[in-house]
Amino acid sequence: MTYLAKPKLHHPTLAKNKRGFTRRDYEGPVSTLCAGCGHDSISAAIIQAAFNLDIEPHRVAKLSGIGCSSKTPTYFLGQSHGFNTVHGRMPSVLTGANLANRDLIYMGVSGDGDSASIGLGQFAHAMRRGVNMVYIVMNNGVYGLTKGQFSATADKGSKAKKGAINNDSPVDMVGLALQLGATFVARSFSGDKAQLVPLIEAAIAHQGAAFIDVVSPCVAFNNHPGSTKSYDYVREHNEAVNRIDFMPHREEITTEYEPGTVQEVVQHDGSVLRLRKLHTDYDPNNRIAAMNFLQEHQARGEVVTGLLYVDPDPEDLHIYANTVPVPLNALGERELCPRAAALEKINASLR
Amino acid sequence: MKPTDIGQPDYFHKVVDCQWACPAHTPVPEYIRLIAAGRYSDAYMINWQSNVFPGVLGRTCDRPCEPACRRSRVEDGESKEPVAICRLKRVAADYKDDVTARMPKPAAKKNGKRIACVGAGPASLTVARDLAPLGYDVTVFDGEKKAGGFIRSQIPKFRLPEEVIDEECGYILDLGVEFRGGQRIDSLKDLLGQGYDAIFVGSGAPRGRDLDIPGRKEAAKNIHIGIDWLSSVSFGHIDKIGRRVIVLGGGNTAMDCCRSSRRLGGEDVKVIVRSGFEEMKASPWEKEDAMHEGIPILNFLVPKEFKHVDGKLVGMVFEKVKAVYDERGRRSLVPSGEPDQHFECDDVLVAVGQENAFPWIERDAGIEFDKWGLPVLNETTFQSTLPNVFFGGDAAFGPKNIIWAVAHGHEAAVSIDRFCNGEDVAKRPPPLVNLMSQKMGIHEWSYDNAISNDVRYKVPLKDVSIALKNIKVEVELGFDPQLAFKEAQRCLNCDVQTVFTAGQCIECDACVDICPMDCITFTDNGDEAELRGRLNAPATNRTQDLYVSAELKTKRVMVKDEDVCLHCGLCAERCPTGAWDMQKFFLNTAKAGPGCRDRHLNNLAPLRQAA
């Protein structure tokens, strides 16, 4: 936490994107989280991704619940729409917002407490309904705001800062998301922006429920030996299945790759995910195989990261609910008041 | 790249661009902070230690520090200007309290060594100041009645009031220095015969170059050599000039000549230079000041002839030239083919350069001269081929400026001190260096780390109509305390260094994310050229170092480009482990005295090894 605003001055070569914004223009006020918090790195990754995608800030809505993680939307995309919901209720507020205005980019930001404890039900239903959004969980395994009690994602057997051992089984958010039908599921690490930034870009481009679990060490309460969410532990046990390059449009492959090591996924909007495979037999288009792979490696104490599952042609809530194709605020009086003849037709259909 | 050795005094010294650029290595950010705090006397004394003439230099310095200032590399938008370092120095001098009690006292006990200084300019006075308090019996000789040398004779009073010169020369002469004004030395042999233990020659470059073109002799009455004319004006021998004046030359002397002319009756004053306007030797601000007073500067005109009628100057003829560059980038001026230009005038001031002149040094006195007529000297010790004779200031390597003269004086004083103690003058003492953490609390530093977005403040000037009426009215009014505070806040505190301890780093990226200038990168090591290209922001300024850490846990290294760092300390504030710390770097060059001698240096050596 700092009392100073980040100086306005910037590097002389700082680039502008197609919208005329610099990366700095996507920042928010300076963070008040603890120094070294992984969440700040995730905020920085979101800023970088939004800059890279030439996003217009006013086309983004960022929603969050309660917790350290849920404070972060203040610190990125300062010119976008924001909504802090009550604890654990971000998914339903986001769902409502999405139904009302389907044209915005929705970014739900939550933590392991907000999503895996008080908001677990909300999380589950947003996933199974296929709400078109990017759902980021900043996962540190502890309740930081209340001084470091184990959260629901803390691994069984992991150690608290004062030495207590966690006896409860963890909620596996990635496993749940896969099971509940999320169409884009990834895991990453706050200390690895090279992996995280393209994942966020790809998730934003994805037209369905995109879930990213980001392990984000809590430097104040969960960065000690015995923790499974510390910088050191994650770096030692990180098992990345792939590295992705995100491209808004298909570009020719110019680098030489070993045969079978590169796989391209073309998403519905034409964007291309070029996966450089680190596990040659890993197939991110196979939901069941992904779940098995995860379970096996998790059992060995490994933290599996990368793009774990993607459905390039997802369906979303609007398709299931057969809603109008435009945001509700774009509907005119004519559509909203369809007159007596239309009522007559509806009534007739019910007779 | 190898990990940066921050134990090397030069590493952090180079980061303090202003201090590194200053020949006397004045701790600039340190005194600017003191000015911001209203501690003008303390700021003055820091300056006085380093550069001896803060009041004089605060008005007249050539300010090599300002082009070096980091501020001009980090500002956004149109204005990219350095901190007004020079004019802030003047603030310290203007608003200080009486500092006489803080000056060194004359030595209680003399050490029996006698030193003669030839000339009472800034180089000699610096030698006198450094040596007199140590017990040396210093005698300063000068042809003029008052001390100061060119400071007194060449710089017009509207730039530098006489009281300032009197005050600052006075501080030195009050140290028990014997000043023999009006006693010009005309024989070195004679002086050598008087049994001095060492002689310092700080006699300047006193001869103005002349212009030998047709009409020079015939119109001599109205053609004056710039530096001679300026000193005559300075001493009140000349108080008027013709209505139409041409000043030849593009240096600072030419600027002083034209502005003085404007005050002595010159209404139509113009400066005419051979070169292009951009290549003129005068400092940009001096050109600006001249133009502000309605003096045009005409360029690419080579003087061809003085026109005269009945022995009276009536005008000058110039040939129009253009600059042509050969394939090696060397410039030559060739006739442009345009017709010659004629300018009418009543007086001409020739300010086309200065030369060294040592008519008083007998060529068989034992001092060797090179083919340009300059003494053969050791460049670091300033010792001549006669071991007990040292040179400094313009007399050493030709015309430079006051701050260089002061720097020479300090070094020569060290040499003389070691020489008089029978020690090897070639062995030079290292500077005194200190690094101290500025951390006061989690978000508190003992320096003001907020970054001001203000653009450079202009020094208020006297109204031109008043200023031009009296040659003794100072044109610049100086910053008032409020303006001085605001200008001081523009300083980035480059002496408060970002110090990185690799062993503490957990690679959380917090510093990378917060750095407003994208200076910090964690990446795989590589060779410098390649590394510079793949940092978070390209490090294209090769004059600025990369700070490279030892290998971290992930086998990467931390690389920081020092170039545009704001020294805002946010990296250290956001660092959870204290791997980054803001530490104030203080460097004072070694001065004459016990600290520069073998006994002290030998004690120092084992300490350094242990560290």
CA dihedral sign, ordered B540, B542, B548, B554: positive
User: Could you list the residue range(s) of the whole structural domain that residue A160 is in?
Assistant: 23-241+278-321
Task: For residue A15, give how far its alpha carbon lies from the nearest alpha carbon of chain B (Å).
Answer: 10
Type and span of the H or E element at B303: strand B301-309
Q: Does residue A336 sit within a domain?
A: no
B572: CB partners within 8 A, 6+ apart? B439, B498, B511, B578, B580, B581, B582
Task: For residue B39, give how far its alpha carbon lies from the nearest alpha carbon of chain A (Å).
Answer: 25
Which has the closest alpha carbon to B200: B375, B325, B402?
B375
**Nearest residue, CB atoms, A13 vs list B506, B537, B570:** B537
**Nearest residue, CB atoms, A191 vs list B442, B508, B568:** B508
Same domain, residue pair B169 and B220: no
Pairing outcome for strands B223-225 and B244-248: unpaired
Instruction: Please give the ipTM for the structure prediction.
Output: 0.92
Same domain, residue pair B139 and B223: no
pLDDT value, residue B609 = 53
| Cβ pairs bridging A and B (under 8 Å) | 102
A246, A251, A257, A263 alpha-carbon torsion, rounded to 10°: 60
Q: Does residue B480 sit within a domain?
A: no
Q: Does residue B443 sit within a domain?
A: no
pLDDT value, residue B611 = 47
Chain B contact probe: residue of A1, A6, A9, A23 with most B CBs at under 10 A: A9
Confidence of residue B355 (pLDDT cuts 50, 70, 90): confident
Burial class (CB in 10 A: 0-12, 13-18, 19+), B164: buried
Q: Does residue A261 sit within a domain?
A: no
pLDDT value, residue A1 = 53
B578 touches chain A (CB under 8 A): no
Q: Does residue B222 sit within a domain?
A: yes
Same domain, residue pair B195 and B251: no
Same domain, residue pair B198 and B309: no
- Which residue is listed with tokens 């590394």? B531
Chain A contact probe: residue of B541, B574, B580 with most A CBs at under 10 A: B574
Nearest CA in chain B to A46: B513
Same domain, residue pair B324 and B275: yes
Same domain, residue pair B370 and B341: no
pLDDT value, residue B414 = 97
CA distance A17 to A173: 34
pLDDT in tens, B265-322: 999 999 999 999 999 999 999 999 999 999 999 999 999 999 999 989 999 999 999 9
Residues in B touching A231 (Cβ below 8 Å) = 506-508
Q: Does residue B371 sit within a domain?
A: yes
Same domain, residue pair B346 and B377: no
Task: For residue A38, give how far its alpha carbon lies from the nearest alpha carbon of chain B (Å).
Answer: 7
Task: For residue B572, give how far its alpha carbon lies from the nearest alpha carbon of chain A (Å).
Answer: 9
B451 touches chain A (CB under 8 A): yes
Nearest CA in chain A to B514: A6
**Nearest residue, CB atoms, B574 vs list A2, A3, A231:** A2
Same domain, residue pair B240 and B174: no
Distances (CA, A) of B88 to B114, B175, B408, B491: 37, 27, 24, 11
pLDDT in tens, B475-487: 999 999 999 999 9
Distances (CA, A) of B103 to B26, B88, B501: 18, 21, 40
Q: Do B508 and A217 touch (CB under 8 A)?
A: yes
**Nearest residue, CB atoms, B513 vs list A1, A3, A44:** A44
A214 touches chain B (CB under 8 A): no
Provide the domain count of chain A: 1
Q: Do B564 and A193 touch (CB under 8 A)?
A: no
A279, A284, A288, A294 alpha-carbon torsion, rounded to 10°: 50
User: Could you list the residue range(s) of the whole structural domain that residue B368 is in?
Assistant: 114-205+356-420
Q: Does residue A62 sit within a domain?
A: yes
Task: For residue B579, give how far its alpha carbon lies from the nearest alpha carbon of chain A (Å).
Answer: 11
Task: For residue B517, give how far its alpha carbon lies from the nearest alpha carbon of chain A (Å).
Answer: 5
Q: Count of CB atoms within 10 A of residue B335's CB?
A: 11
Q: Do A191 and B575 touch (CB under 8 A)?
A: no
| Range in A63-77, A269-283, B295-309, B532-546 with the lowest mean pLDDT | A269-283
**Nearest residue, CB atoms, B564 vs list A11, A40, A41:** A11
Q: Among residues of chain B, what percentage have pLDDT more than 70?
A: 99
Residue B509 is given by DSSP the state: -
Task: For residue B508, give how far its alpha carbon lies from the nearest alpha carbon of chain A (Å).
Answer: 6
pLDDT in tens, B561-577: 999 999 999 999 999 99
Q: Where are the alpha helices (DSSP H) in B265-328?
A: 284-292
B442 touches chain A (CB under 8 A): yes
Q: Do B517 and A2 touch (CB under 8 A)?
A: no
Q: Output the domain CATH number for residue A46.
A: 3.40.50.970
Which has the closest alpha carbon to B52: B303, B323, B413?
B413
Residue A248 has pLDDT above 50, yes or no: yes
Instruction: Tell me the average pLDDT of chain A.
Output: 93
* Side chain identity, residue B508: C
Q: Which tops the pLDDT comparison, A276 or B158?
A: B158
Same domain, residue pair B271 and B289: yes
B217: CB partners within 8 A, 6+ apart? none
Per the CB < 8 A criterion, the answer to whether A196 and A46 are in contact is no
Q: Does residue A230 sit within a domain?
A: yes
A7 touches chain B (CB under 8 A): yes
Instruction: Tell me the average pLDDT of chain B.
Output: 94
- Give contacts of A 173-192 with B, CB under 8 A: 190-191
Q: Does residue B494 sit within a domain?
A: no
Same domain, residue pair B399 and B372: yes
pLDDT in tens, B196-254: 999 999 999 888 999 999 999 999 999 999 999 999 999 999 999 999 999 999 999 99
Q: Do B509 and A11 touch (CB under 8 A)?
A: no
Chain B contact probe: residue of A11, A13, A16, A215 with most B CBs at under 10 A: A11
**Nearest residue, CB atoms, A10 vs list B73, B442, B517:** B517
Same domain, residue pair B163 and B288: no
B199: CB partners within 8 A, 6+ apart? B115, B116, B117, B118, B188, B191, B192, B388, B389, B390
Pairing outcome for strands B496-500 and B580-588: antiparallel
Q: Does residue B529 sit within a domain?
A: no
Q: Do A235 and B554 touch (CB under 8 A)?
A: yes
| Range in A250-254, B382-386, B566-570 with the lowest mean pLDDT | A250-254
Q: Do B508 and A7 touch (CB under 8 A)?
A: no
What is chain A's length? 351
pLDDT value, residue B572 = 95
- Which residue is listed with tokens 């986001």? A94
Q: Output the domain CATH number for residue B397.
A: 3.50.50.60
Provide the domain count of chain B: 2
- Give contacts of A 111-170 with B, CB under 8 A: none
B53, B57, B62, B68 alpha-carbon torsion, rounded to 10°: 90
Residues in B touching A220 (Cβ below 8 Å) = 576
Among B399, B420, B441, which residue terminates a domain? B420
pLDDT value, residue B357 = 86
Q: Does residue A249 sit within a domain?
A: no
Same domain, residue pair B181 and B212: no
pLDDT value, residue A270 = 85
Task: For residue B452, give how far its alpha carbon lies from the nearest alpha carbon of chain A (Å).
Answer: 8
pTM, two decimal places: 0.91
CA distance B398 to B405: 11
Q: Count of CB atoms within 10 A of residue A25's CB?
A: 19
Chain B contact probe: residue of A1, A3, A10 with most B CBs at under 10 A: A10
Task: For residue A169, give how far its alpha carbon lies from the nearest alpha carbon of chain B (Å).
Answer: 28
